[in-house]
Amino acid sequence: MTTAGLRMTVGRLVGRILRAAGVDAVYGRPLAGVRVVPVPADDVAALMAAAHVRVHGRPAAVHRGDGTLVVGGDPVGSAVAAVTAASVDDLLAATAAVHDAAHGRSGRLALTVAPDPDAPAPDVVPRAPGPVDRWSPPGDDLVAAVVAAARPVVLAGPGVVRAGAVPGLHAVAAAAGLGVLNTWGAKGVFDWRSRHHLATAGLQSRDFELGGLADADLIVATGVDPAEAPAHRWRHLAPVVEVAPGALDPLAGRWSRPPADIAVPPLRAALGRVTQEGWASSATPLAPSLVTRHYAEVVGPGGLVAADPGVAGYWVARTFATTGVGTVHVPASAASHGFAVACATVARLRAPDRPVLAVVDGAAGEGAVGAGAAGDPVGEVLDCARRLGVDVPVEVWSPGGEPLNAGRHVERLRRLVLGGVTGVAGLATDAGQLDRMIEVAGEVIAWTA
């Protein structure tokens, strides 16, 4: 190999800047000098980047094909800041801004690289900004407030997972003997069988009331996303203190209470009865809670199930029995159709044999899902996965799907998930079980804001 083949270019310098800023992957159109996962459609690239952040817990970027790299925030939304780098010096100076956007210290950043990416550049290594310090000791007023509470309950959201603060949540729950109500973006922060796990909330109108917050004298909110927990649904139920996810671990050292039983809230008990009725049912179409139980059995603790917004997404978010974070991904945005397939795709780009399943809704007689048809976001992402050589199994919940019995469903799931093939399979489910859930916890409110 000649030294000329290794000459430094603007594009290679951009790649170094992205790495220094902690960006783990770039999706989109080719950019000379930068390793990009090829995704021609901008909206699909944005879904892939969003899925990468959720599945791998690392920052990702999108290259739109015009020299503009979009970093940070929600890759499905619009950029909030734009920077044009007209020179190499500008590029180097932008390293800190890219780092801040990638790690949530600022809003989204659209960085436009004006110089030709093939142009020569100095062989320099950009200085990586300091690591993100998420340790945040609680103030004395906060400690006094939680210590004074007789019936505190924690409401935890996806910010706890993004901050890597799940061990801190465990520590404070154990030290203070707390029950934790989590929204669906934080599924798995506790094993579903843990005494600290109260329920998953935010999916139905009475979740927060019945999940234990109405009986609390203090709500300890941490990492909450308003898209999953709108303020008007829960903040009126009891006084609220906000705890940064990074403050959970140090808070555990300053807040302890004598051991005591943690009351099971009405939400968990009532939903559990309806869920278990579905488990015991031998009727076809299958009860949705039995379907999600099959998902957990077949995919296993090391696998991944992702669902798009909708009926299937509700049931996966509500009844999939999680034993840890990272097994289930359901987006908070109603506009995220195609997200489930994107999650499965980015998971298998890194681990081709990982058990994965994407779950989506379909209409009666649905035949276009997965065909890559224009206007079908699920199909567009699945078509992208095929071009990348990634096998993604998809189950479509549809009135026109197959009315399988339990044994045949598990058998088909094993072929889809463990067989190493790309397949789209329809499944009919019992719509009546949702009515029973609504009787318990009110109307479904997820994705309606």
Whole-number pLDDT of residue 446: 98
- Exposed, middle or buried by CB within 10 Å (0-12, 13-18, 19+), for 177? middle
140-261 shares the fold of 3-113: yes
389-414 pLDDT, tens digit per residue, is 999 999 999 999 999 999 999 999 99
Residue 60 corresponds to which amino acid? A
Q: CATH classification of 140-261 is 1.10.3720.10, yes or no?
A: no
CATH number of 3-113: 3.40.50.970
Indicate the range of 129-138, 168-177, 337-346 predicted with least confidence.
Answer: 129-138
19-40 pLDDT, tens digit per residue, is 999 999 999 999 999 999 999 9
pLDDT above 90 coverage of the chain, percent: 88
- b/e string for 336-368 if b means 16 or more Cβ within 10 A? bbbbbbbbbbbbbbeeeebbbbbbbbbeeebee
Q: Confidence band (pLDDT; 50, 70, 90) for 245?
A: very high
76-135 pLDDT, tens digit per residue, is 555 579 999 999 999 999 999 999 999 988 899 999 999 999 999 999 999 888 888 889
What pTM was computed for the model?
0.94
Average model confidence (pLDDT) for the chain?
93
Q: Where are the domains of the chain?
A: 3-113, 140-261, 282-429
Indicate the range of 66-70, 123-127, 297-301, 361-365 predicted with least confidence.
Answer: 361-365
Whole-number pLDDT of residue 80: 77
For domain 282-429, which architecture applies? 3-Layer(aba) Sandwich (3.40)
pLDDT above 70 coverage of the chain, percent: 94
Indicate the range of 4-18, 115-129, 321-335 predicted with least confidence.
Answer: 4-18
